[in-house]
Structure 1
């Protein structure tokens, strides 16, 4: 039985709680959201703006029933780099726009034929295992952020950075488990603030960017340029990220203890993601996706209010234009984000384990054992399928999900039933023999 939410979906917090709760979600998504444009050559401010607009569009399309924040998708990094190098960033943005159209087409199919088939191809044994992969697959990212530092282009271990990450993690853990009232609702934000103060004292925070940044700055936008080649390259990636979206929706539903696939509907959720991705492409931002970091925040705080999510979206949009505030957030040291990510990603993995336990998955059934084992090793091991001809890489969680679905469809389901029937027949025959023996002895 899940605990009662601190703030349910349509509950509005007062202003004194609203601002820090929204900031907590902003900080949770910030690092990953600006990392994608940095790696692909897009503008980080535009990424913030597009994530905010996309999140608001998603909340509207899902009728305010799914508290999800949408940020930059890592799955599109390689295709964007590939297309932009060959045909320019405008072509890459058109490909991203077309990826959003693919989302809309899939949403329409689900709306037309229903979503019951989702439960058949994605039963709890598959979804629970995939959710574990979502969390543990990010474990190396969190640990790398926590203990490593880049020096002269090389990644080296830093004890100072790791201790700061552990201190940040400790503050977040204490706030989550010991604090009561409002302080217990914002453990991630408290962890980041505490870690930032420690980082200032340790001398690893550089405030030069804040001093140099203007108060107001208009981001540089990129206009899409028509390219069928880019569309063909991006389309398969959209099909892969849809599996990630379904996994995140299942996690969110599990945390909230309600079936979001049925209400407001998987089709609305996927359509919202697609619209957000297309909006981002129109202004030069990376494709969007629901964020595991923010799901982790909800799992810890039990605050599901869409007003809190919308507040984070508005803050992100504002920071795209306020130079000094945006620059201040970029000064948050990597080990601080690594420390809170250890907790956030672990919570996601634990949510998957909870799904397996609550659905009574029987691992004496070899079928379940095989499916979970293969999904987790391929996903956590980050196995990859490189399709060089169409410049698509299917790896990690996406590949694990696809293989898990295939195994679920092809492996026979009646072996355990047959074994149970045979066992029952043996019990019956044994009982008959005992009864016959008893009768003979009595005679």
Structure 2
């Protein structure tokens, strides 16, 4: 019987030929989602690749090379970035992203000083779950418009049957890949969907390669750099729109660390510590804000790759980060990405945004939240209706706090003021495994 292949450890360096292949796997896992976010918010996909690579390298450094996690574009900030860009341009979104990174830093400092329990005080599953659902469902209209509507003169949108055909074929291929493909291929269904949709769009005449022919192999992307391409200004409205979403991504970060800890058989919350991983995430987001990329977050897709391959090496993750940076500086690759039709991205987004919403529902289920409790029913209901219904708070004629940020703030406030808080944490809390481990340590 053949000997089973052993795991590759966190600090182990693979052989060169294996190293490249393993890093390419991680690049494929993050590529589709990382370029989709900037395409949706009208930022440069090339800059997003570079900022994700640099952010991941910074994360590995801050966590002392002990946490094999890749960071890519965060979907939680799509709506806030669109809202901020509408009145202040992408520069305003970069300022907001910088302060989001600062929130991570403050949270990391508090955790270092007083521990982790305070997070659950303000971020129970009954708040975080519905807000995650709002993120996905709030973007549903964007996905449908991309899949069906063509923009003609003066911003007027009309139904386009060809767009819808391409989008539905893209969606079908993505679903088939997600359901029937096994192993590593089952982790990257979006890549198969985008590739299949792209070929379909090519056959129906939606793609023009002229820009690819004219592009250079090596070129500097369109960076948005403070004090170089613009002078940053801090506006409270920008902070009010973007900063509250950090509450959701903080909870997502903790969840990813718990899953990764279980996969690797180590407690990354203890060593190198949640404060370090949060600080790394915050620095990565700040790096993106200095370059013109969307905020970064740890990617579950890459955690899935680690779970299947049992390759925990941070050098493999670092290799993927370096490849992302190289790809970002390739004019040909950037131009090729820009030729992806909106119908293709719309088809993928239909499933992707639905999965985001479903993950919020899963948080409620996994934590065994009882919606029969009036407190839980009230908090979740208010968050969902305010977030999805289009509620907003106007600041002036051009500025407003959108529903997602408003729903997050109101959800946290309701949790803090309503009685009977214990029912909002569920039978199984996000820190249940950690509590169990601590009891075992005390008993020993």
User: Is this a same-fold pair by TM over 0.5?
Assistant: yes
CA distance in 1, matches of 2:341, 2:158: 16
Match of 2:276 in 1: 268
Match of 2:114 in 1: 113
Unaligned runs of 5+ in 1: 1-6, 417-443
State the SS of the aligned residue for 1:272: helix
Is this contact kept in 1: 2:258–2:268, CA < 8 A? no
Is this contact kept in 1: 2:27–2:324, CA < 8 A? no
Structure 1 residue 357 displacement after superposition? 1.8
Structure 1 residue 27 displacement after superposition? 2.0
Is this contact kept in 1: 2:147–2:347, CA < 8 A? yes
Q: Does 1:252 align with 2:256?
A: yes
CA 1:218–1:362: 2 relative to 1, 3 Å: closer
Structure 1 residue 364 displacement after superposition? 1.9
CA distance in 1, matches of 2:131, 2:421: 24
60-69 or 165-174, which moves further after superposition? 60-69
Q: Does 1:240 align with 2:248?
A: no
Structure 1 residue 219 displacement after superposition? 3.3
Match of 1:187 in 2: 189
5 Å-filtered alignment, 1:41-440, equals 45-62=46-63, 63-65=65-67, 67-71=69-73, 73-74=77-78, 75-76=80-81, 79=84, 97=98, 100-152=101-153, 153-219=155-221, 221=223, 223-225=225-227, 229-230=233-234, 236=240, 239-250=243-254, 252=256, 265-282=273-290, 284-286=291-293, 288-290=295-297, 295=300, 310=318, 313-388=321-396, 393-413=400-420
CA 1:280–1:164: 2 relative to 1, 3 Å: same
Structure 1 residue 29 displacement after superposition? 1.7
CA distance in 2, matches of 1:394, 1:198: 39
Structure 1 residue 328 displacement after superposition? 0.8
Is this contact kept in 2: 1:48–1:319, CA < 8 A? yes
CA 1:93–1:174: 2 relative to 1, 3 Å: closer
How many residues align? The count is 398
CA distance in 2, matches of 1:46, 1:414: 43
CA 1:65–1:15: 2 relative to 1, 3 Å: same
5 Å-filtered alignment, 1:18-57, equals 18-36=23-41, 38=43, 45-57=46-58
State the SS of the aligned residue for 1:230: coil
Is this contact kept in 1: 2:288–2:296, CA < 8 A? no
CA 1:257–1:233: 2 relative to 1, 3 Å: same
State the SS of the aligned residue for 2:420: coil
Is this contact kept in 2: 1:22–1:308, CA < 8 A? no
190-199 or 337-346, which moves further after superposition? 337-346
TM-score, scaled relative to structure 2? 0.75
Structure 1 residue 404 displacement after superposition? 0.9
Match of 1:426 in 2: none
RMSD of aligned Cα (Å) = 3.8
Structure 1 residue 59 displacement after superposition? 3.9
Structure 1 residue 210 displacement after superposition? 0.5
Is this contact kept in 2: 1:53–1:317, CA < 8 A? yes
Unaligned runs of 5+ in 2: 1-6, 424-444
Is this contact kept in 2: 1:8–1:303, CA < 8 A? no
CA 1:66–1:308: 2 relative to 1, 3 Å: closer
* Structure label with greater radius of gyration: 1
Is this contact kept in 2: 1:95–1:227, CA < 8 A? no
TM-score, scaled relative to structure 1? 0.75
CA 1:397–1:233: 2 relative to 1, 3 Å: closer
CA distance in 1, matches of 2:377, 2:182: 40
Structure 1 residue 266 displacement after superposition? 4.6
CA distance in 1, matches of 2:411, 2:238: 23
